[in-house]
């Protein structure tokens, strides 16, 4: 077998820092600055001026000095760094949610993904770097333009061959019928469920990011009357730890709730009415806690046989 062909826009940049690349500057107080390198540009701050030529051609991990003697560490930004520091027009989906979205939606190379609610492009970058081909719907032209610029800034212009954003509403029918995944960041994702049923292949994964539990609840109600099954809803809480010698404790602050992630799988439209009725009957009917459900036919406790220990 030959060597695997790298997917355009997913390879890691290595070697000396180059013009047009983004770098992350970190000062001695751990303040971080995202900077795009230009041959004739300079970074200006309260700590003085730092010419970009001091970084261009140098390896990552270099320490550079401003005109006032301020030290900066220089690295290429990770995806987490870039998402948290990149220019934005709309609120971004944070790294703590992007990571589980990629896993829950089972994103992989060559998968055709429908994404709507493009925003500033944070989730798009994660999907593209995982190898997906994206068709995106966004109703605001300024958001679409910002998303494309952010995507190019991290993955390069060549990735646009796999990133097609249209100024359309996902609440209208989706053009296409062979999507592997549907990933949404919309106020009313339940309006897309019917369109997703006809636009996705059977077995596909539907995932929606919703900030409020009322949105998640309404989405689950709509999914319950569709061909989507195996629904589940979860949230991710992110807490760092302070470790300094023998002083070990959780950080006083944490990134708690940001959104609920709801995932479901699509059944084949060829199933008969009997099978569809059976699916509806066996669906979970209540959700006492996120990630925990009870069913219409919960398991009954095993009866004690004669001769077992008497109950008190």
**Does some domain include residue 1?**
no
Are both 69 and 217 inside the same structural domain?
no
pLDDT of residue 194: 96
Q: Cα separation of 208 and 264, whole Å?
A: 9
Classify residue 3: in a domain, yes or no.
no
Q: What pTM was computed for the model?
A: 0.82
Domain for residue 34, yes or no?
yes
Mean of the pLDDT values across residues 204-209?
Answer: 98
Same structural domain for residues 26 and 62?
Answer: yes
Asked if the structure places residue 244 within a domain, the reply is yes
Beta-strand ranges (E) seen in 218-307 are 228-234, 241-244, 247-250, 260-266, 284-289, 292-295
**β-sheet bridge partners, residue 244:** 247
Whether residue 42 is found in the same domain as residue 156: no
**Distance of alpha carbon 11 from its chain centroid, rounded?**
19
Report the CATH number that the domain containing residue 54 is assigned in CATH. 3.10.330.20
Is 50 exceeded by the pLDDT of residue 311?
Answer: no
Q: What is the mean pLDDT of residues 65-78?
A: 95
Domain final residue, candidates 77, 99, 114: 77
The pLDDT of residue 34 is above 80: yes
Q: Are 90 and 35 in the same domain?
A: no
Residues 41 and 112 in one domain: no
Please state, as a whole number, how many other Cβ atoms lie within 10 Å of the Cβ of residue 198.
12
Q: Is residue 312 domain-resident?
A: no
* N-terminal to C-terminal alpha carbon distance within the chain: 69
Helix and strand numbers (H, E) in the chain are 7, 17
Q: Compute the average pLDDT of residues 72-96.
A: 92
What pLDDT shows up at residue 5? 38
What average pLDDT does range 125-146 have in this prediction?
Answer: 96
Tell me the pLDDT of the chain averaged across its residues: 87
| CATH number, residue 255 | 3.40.50.150
pLDDT confidence tier of residue 8, bands split at 50, 70 and 90? very low
Q: Is residue 261 part of a domain?
A: yes
Interval 45-62: pLDDT, tens: 999 999 999 999 999 999
Question: Residue 123 in 3-state DSSP?
Answer: helix
37 and 98 fall within a common domain:
no
Tell me what the mean pLDDT of segment 283-289 comes to: 52
Structural domain that includes position 70 = 22-77
pLDDT tens, position by position, 254-283: 889 999 999 999 999 877 655 665 566 466
Residue 14 forms part of a structural domain = no
128 and 44 housed in the same domain? no
User: Could you tell me if 54 and 25 are in contact, meaning their C-beta atoms sit under 8 angstroms apart?
Assistant: no
Quick one: 119 and 259 in the same domain?
yes
Q: How many CB atoms lie within 10 A of CB 61?
A: 9
**Does the structure show a pLDDT above 60 at 301?**
no
Q: Kindly state the DSSP code that residue 302 receives in the 8-state scheme.
A: P
Q: Are residues 130 and 68 in the same domain?
A: no
Inform me whether the pLDDT recorded for 295 exceeds 70: no
Mark whether 189 and 207 lie in a shared domain: yes
Any idea how long the chain is? Answer: 312
pLDDT for 169-206, tens place per residue? 999 999 988 999 999 999 999 999 999 999 999 999 99
* Dihedral sign for Cα atoms in the order 74, 78, 83, 84: negative
223, part of any domain: yes
Average pLDDT over residues 19-29: 94
Instruction: Name the CA dihedral angle for 119, 179, 176, 277, rounded to a multiple of 10 degrees.
Output: -110
Q: What is the pLDDT of residue 243?
A: 95
**Residue 134 to residue 127: CA distance in whole angstroms:** 8
Indicate whether 167 and 107 sit together in one domain: yes
Q: Are residues 57 and 164 in the same domain?
A: no
The pLDDT of residue 79: 94
Confidence bin at 293 (pLDDT 50/70/90): very low
Q: If DSSP codes are grouped into helix, strand and coil, which group holds residue 247?
A: strand
**Domain ends where: 37, 54, 77?**
77
Structure tokens at 55: 């970084």
Of the candidates 97, 74, 78, 98, which has an alpha carbon nearest to the alpha carbon of residue 86? 78
**Residue 158 pLDDT > 70:** yes
Q: How far apart are CA 165 and CA 236, in angstroms?
A: 28
CA distance 92 to 55: 29
- Among 25-34, 81-90, 288-297, which is the least confidently predicted range? 288-297
Number of structural domains (the chain) is 2
């Amino acid at each position: 077998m030959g060597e695997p062909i790298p997917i355009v826009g997913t390879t890691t940049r290595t070697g000396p820092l180059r013009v047009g690349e983004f770098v992350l500057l970190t000062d001695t107080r751990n303040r971080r600055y995202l900077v795009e390198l230009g041959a004739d540009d300079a970074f200006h701050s309260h700590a003085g001026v730092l010419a970009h030529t001091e970084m261009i051609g140098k390896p990552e991990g270099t320490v550079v000095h401003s005109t006032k003697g301020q030290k900066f560490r220089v690295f290429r930004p990770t995806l987490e760094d870039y998402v948290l520091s990149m220019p934005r027009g709309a609120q971004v989906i944070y790294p703590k949610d992007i990571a589980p979205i990629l896993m829950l939606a089972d994103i992989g190379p060559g998968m055709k993904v429908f994404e709507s609610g493009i925003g500033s492009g944070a989730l798009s970058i994660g999907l593209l770097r995982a190898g997906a081909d994206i068709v995106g719907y966004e109703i605001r032209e300024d958001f679409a333009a910002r998303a494309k610029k952010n995507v190019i800034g991290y993955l390069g212009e060549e990735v646009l061959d796999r990133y097609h954003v249209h100024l359309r509403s996902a609440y209208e029918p989706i053009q296409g019928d062979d999507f592997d995944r549907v990933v949404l960041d919309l106020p009313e994702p339940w309006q897309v469920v019917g369109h997703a049923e006809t636009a996705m292949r059977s077995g596909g994964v539907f995932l929606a990011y919703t900030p409020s539990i009322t949105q998640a609840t309404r989405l689950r109600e709509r999914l319950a009357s569709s061909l989507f099954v195996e629904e589940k809803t979860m949230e991710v809480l992110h807490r760092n730890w302070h470790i300094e010698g023998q002083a070990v404790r959780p950080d006083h602050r944490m990134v708690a709730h940001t959104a609920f992630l709801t995932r479901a799988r699509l059944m084949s439209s060829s199933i008969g009415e009997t099978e569809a009725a059976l699916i509806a009957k066996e669906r979970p009917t209540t959700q006492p806690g996120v990630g925990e459900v009870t069913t219409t036919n919960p398991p009954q406790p095993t009866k004690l046989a004669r001769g077992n220990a008497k109950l008190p």
